[in-house]
Amino acid sequence: MGIQLVTGYSLWLLPLCLAAGAGYAAILYYRNKSEDFSRSLIWFLSVFRFLTVSLIAFLLLSPMVKTIIRTKEKPTVVIAIDNSRSMVMGPDSVFVKTRLQEELNKLSSELGDDFTIANYTFGEEVKPEDSPGFVDNLTNIADFFKQINNRFYNRNLGAVIIATDGIYNSGSDPAYSVRNVSYPVYTVNLGDTSQHRDLLIKRVNFNRVAYKGNRFPIEILVQAFEAAGETSRLKVVQDGNEVFTQEIRFTSDKQLLAVPVMAQAAEAGKMRFRITIEAIGGETNRSNNSRDIIVEVKDSKQKIAIVSNAPHPDLAAIERAIGNSNNFETQLFNAENFTGNPADYSLFILHQLPSVSNPATKLLGEITRLNIAVLYILGNQSDISGFNNQKTGLSLSGYSNSFNEALPVFNNNFPLFITSENLKHLLQGVPPLLSPFAKYTLGNAVYVYANQGIGASVTAMPLIFFNQGPDRRIGVIAGEGIWKWRLADYAKNSNQTAFDELIGKMVQYLAVKAEKSRFRVSAREYYAENENLEFSATLFNESYELINDKLVTIDITGEDKKKYEFEFSPVGEAYSLNAGNFAPGIYSYEAKAETGTGVLKQNGTFIISALNIEDVNTVANHRLLNTMAKLTGGEGIAPGKISALASIIKQRGDVKQVTYARKRFTDLISFYPLLLLIITLLSVEWFLRKFHGSY
């Protein structure tokens, strides 16, 4: 540690501080002859006054004490293990299950006290732990390096040791993730690189939703390895009945066949299909020979009309987002040429209507008369006075044809539908919408999804909100330019999943007939095997006021009739539940709310789809691992040479202890001991003067 005195002014002024103290003392005690003090006392008092005035004058120079603190950080070695299921599907599975952890623990001991060891597992997610269960259904190696780079940013990361088979089925190419890292990567190359005889259902292409009375296609991709001259049979079974069978003869050792199947959606409900390719002799991995899919059969699609005042990029963005849903079909109209029957539509999306140039009086009157749900989008062509007459739950006053750039600020207490973390993250980085500058007045029964953020301020003005009326639902986006959000989603995530989720859930909520029940439960219809089941619920009393002080429970029942019981937790004015992971299948649920005057119930179903990605490819990719090691100056090693890594890392000249210097400045004017010293000097001087009879 080093200490240095610095000032805001030149230290050449220090003699002036001393001169000021000496001059003040001389004038007070040398020139003043009226005091009847002894000579020794005068010198003693002069010294006190000299020190006091000099210190006060010195403090006027803004002195500070600069302290340099040096800390030493040992290099960190990250040891990570692939936690995916493919790790225990190869011939070295016994080593992976029983000895891998033991060998890595020995390596940690051999690295000794010169290194800090950080243990992680990765697969579906990165976790700081050293006990893998090899249960993850996905492998994302690129995300592991992204997480490590973030967690050890500006830290002394010496090396990364990663034990994996190199098989990744999620995220980007790991080789690109390590191109610019500053640390060496050492790979423990596990798994079997040999391709064994194998038949598998590589992929099944199908629509999750079909409509009653229609035939729908299912495309099955069958992959064969080392099976030339062999014959197998493909079967599709639905609810115990064989609906399709076909004999397949393989003509090469590496073959991919696409088999089309047409199925009949006879009744509304959920249909489970089990697709199986019969195993052949010598096939060791039979877990990938079958695949289950679930198709929901609905009665009909809902129609949505997008009506605009004029062409706008928002229209295409919204139409494409809704088009990715199998539940709706959209039609795009200009307000001047709408000739359809409003009663045929479940929802109208009105872009800048009513407008200054087109009040759309007839269309708006029909929509109101028929109690059809509406989503209004405001913009610079909107007739604000006409909009206020629509009784949307929002009234704008003081509008003078000026606009704000408004960012969305998500309302964490929004109860009407669940918003994923991916969508919340998107809303934090989207461009602003162009919103009318006015005074916003909200009515009752309004649920704000996002408020307007103007600059760095969060306002109470809504940007997106919903109004639950007695006969229909209304939504408002108080700004134009939402097409930029779709582009931002692609720029950030290389897809538009989050934006499509936002539009899809808004449309889903609005298009559904207004729910008049006092107890409402919201859940998704589809979940992946690795996703948590999330539910939300709202409860109203007899006066239709939101309450959340009652007991709300839910019973989830699987196809095996096994029941799982959960209890909701109050969140804001609503209820929420995260039920964790469930096995693939079709589930039903019954939620109950104790109201004090009776029990309210809600029922529903959902589907959990299986993830079979880890079964598709079981051939280890050591070439990728060796490439990653070479790009970073590391080395790929066999499992039997794990212990050699300790000496390899210790011999590197660039993996060493780092010393950090941190400067800290302390302002002397806030240094309390110095203040006490000045007070003490003045107090002692004052006491001695009083004691000897002076003023």
Q: Return the CATH number at 226.
A: 2.60.40.10
pLDDT value at 469 more than 80: no
Q: What percent of the chain has pLDDT over 70?
A: 98
Which pLDDT does position 426 carry in this prediction? 93
**Residue 459 belongs to a domain with what CATH number?**
3.40.50.880
pLDDT value at 455 more than 90: no
Which pLDDT does position 508 carry in this prediction? 85
pLDDT value at 690 more than 80: no
Which pLDDT does position 551 carry in this prediction? 92
Which pLDDT does position 287 carry in this prediction? 79
Provide the terminal-to-terminal Cα distance of the chain, rounded to the nearest Å: 48
pLDDT value at 514 more than 60: no
Both 369 and 386 in one domain: the answer is: yes
Where does a domain end: 240, 268, 298?
A: 298
- Of 79-83, 226-230, 311-315, the poorest mean pLDDT is in 226-230
Q: Determine contact, residues 600/593, Cβ cutoff 8 Å.
A: yes
Q: Which residues pair with 157 in a beta bridge?
A: 76
C-alpha 236 chain-centroid distance: 38
Banded pLDDT at 315 (limits 50, 70, 90):
very high
Q: Is 393 left (phi over 0), alpha (psi -120 to 50) or beta?
A: left
| 672 Cβ contact list (under 8 Å, min separation 6) | none
Which pLDDT does position 364 carry in this prediction? 92
Provide φ and ψ at 178, rounded to 5°: -110, 5
Q: What is the mean pLDDT of the chain?
A: 87
- Mean pLDDT (whole number) for 646-653: 89
Q: Determine contact, residues 53/79, Cβ cutoff 8 Å.
A: no
Give the single-character DSSP code of 170. S
Both 80 and 111 in one domain: the answer is: yes
Which pLDDT does position 516 carry in this prediction? 64
- Domains in the chain: how many in total? 5
**Residue 118 belongs to a domain with what CATH number?**
3.40.50.410
Where does a domain end: 277, 298, 319?
A: 298
For residue 301, give both structure tokens: 């699609």
Both 272 and 325 in one domain: the answer is: no
- Of 22-26, 104-108, 542-546, 674-678, the poorest mean pLDDT is in 542-546
Distance CA 366, CA 444 (A): 24
Distance CA 497, CA 491 (A): 12
Both 505 and 640 in one domain: the answer is: no
Which pLDDT does position 352 carry in this prediction? 94
pLDDT value at 349 more than 80: yes
Give the single-character DSSP code of 274. E
Distance CA 223, CA 466 (A): 49
Both 41 and 79 in one domain: the answer is: no
- Mean pLDDT (whole number) for 138-161: 91
Q: Which residues pair with 600 in a beta bridge?
A: 593
Q: Determine contact, residues 553/567, Cβ cutoff 8 Å.
A: yes
Banded pLDDT at 40 (limits 50, 70, 90):
confident
Both 181 and 202 in one domain: the answer is: no
- Mean pLDDT (whole number) for 277-293: 85
Both 430 and 286 in one domain: the answer is: no
Which pLDDT does position 515 carry in this prediction? 58
Distance CA 647, CA 114 (A): 12
Banded pLDDT at 683 (limits 50, 70, 90):
confident
Both 347 and 454 in one domain: the answer is: yes
**Claim: this prediction has a pTM higher than 0.75:** no
Banded pLDDT at 266 (limits 50, 70, 90):
confident
Using the structure block, give the residue that is written with the tokens 């299921």. Answer: 85
Banded pLDDT at 35 (limits 50, 70, 90):
low
Q: Determine contact, residues 558/607, Cβ cutoff 8 Å.
A: no
Which pLDDT does position 31 carry in this prediction? 62
- Mean pLDDT (whole number) for 230-234: 92
Distance CA 519, CA 446 (A): 18
- Mean pLDDT (whole number) for 610-628: 84
For residue 203, give its domain range.
198-298
Concatenating the DSSP letter of every residue in 611-660 gives --HHHH-----HHHHHHHHHHHT-EEE-GGGGGGHHHHHHT-SSS--EEE
Both 539 and 623 in one domain: the answer is: no
**Residue 552 belongs to a domain with what CATH number?**
2.60.40.1220
pLDDT value at 39 more than 90: no
Banded pLDDT at 513 (limits 50, 70, 90):
low
Both 464 and 595 in one domain: the answer is: no
pLDDT value at 193 more than 90: no
Using the structure block, give the residue that is written with the tokens 């009945």. Answer: 241
Question: Which amino acid appears at position 543 of this protein?
Answer: S
Give me the helix-helix angle, 313-323 and 497-511, nearest 10°: 80
Helix (H) or strand (E) holding 511: helix 497-511
| 534 Cβ contact list (under 8 Å, min separation 6) | 418, 523, 524, 576, 577, 578, 579
Q: Choose among 591, 586, 620: nearest CA to 605.
A: 586
Distance CA 627, CA 636 (A): 8
Reported for 343-347, long-range contacts at CB under 8 A and 24+ positions apart, including other chains, are 343/370, 343/372, 344/303, 345/303, 345/304, 345/305, 345/372, 346/302, 346/303, 346/304, 346/372, 346/373, 346/511, 347/302, 347/304, 347/305, 347/372, 347/373, 347/374, 347/375, 347/507, 347/510, 347/511
pLDDT value at 34 more than 70: no
- pLDDT tens digits, residue range 393-438? 999 999 988 999 999 999 988 888 888 888 999 999 999 999 999 9
- pLDDT tens digits, residue range 104-131? 999 999 987 888 999 999 998 999 988 8
For residue 399, give both structure tokens: 């509008």
For residue 66, give both structure tokens: 């600069």
pLDDT value at 74 more than 80: yes
- Mean pLDDT (whole number) for 476-489: 95
Is residue 363 helix, strand or coil? helix
Q: Choose among 316, 386, 375: nearest CA to 345.
A: 375
Both 307 and 418 in one domain: the answer is: yes
Concatenating the DSSP letter of every residue in 4-63 gives EEEESS-GGGHHHHHHHHHHHHIIIIIS-------HHHHHHHHHHHHHHHHHHHHHTT-E
Q: Determine contact, residues 508/514, Cβ cutoff 8 Å.
A: no
Where does a domain end: 254, 279, 298?
A: 298
Q: Which residue has the higher pLDDT, 268 or 318?
A: 318
Banded pLDDT at 1 (limits 50, 70, 90):
low
For residue 138, give both structure tokens: 């996905």
| CA distance to 129, 186, 298, per residue, from 79 (Å) | 10, 9, 50
Gyration radius (Cα) of the chain, Å: 37
Both 506 and 360 in one domain: the answer is: yes
- pLDDT tens digits, residue range 317-329? 999 999 877 678 8
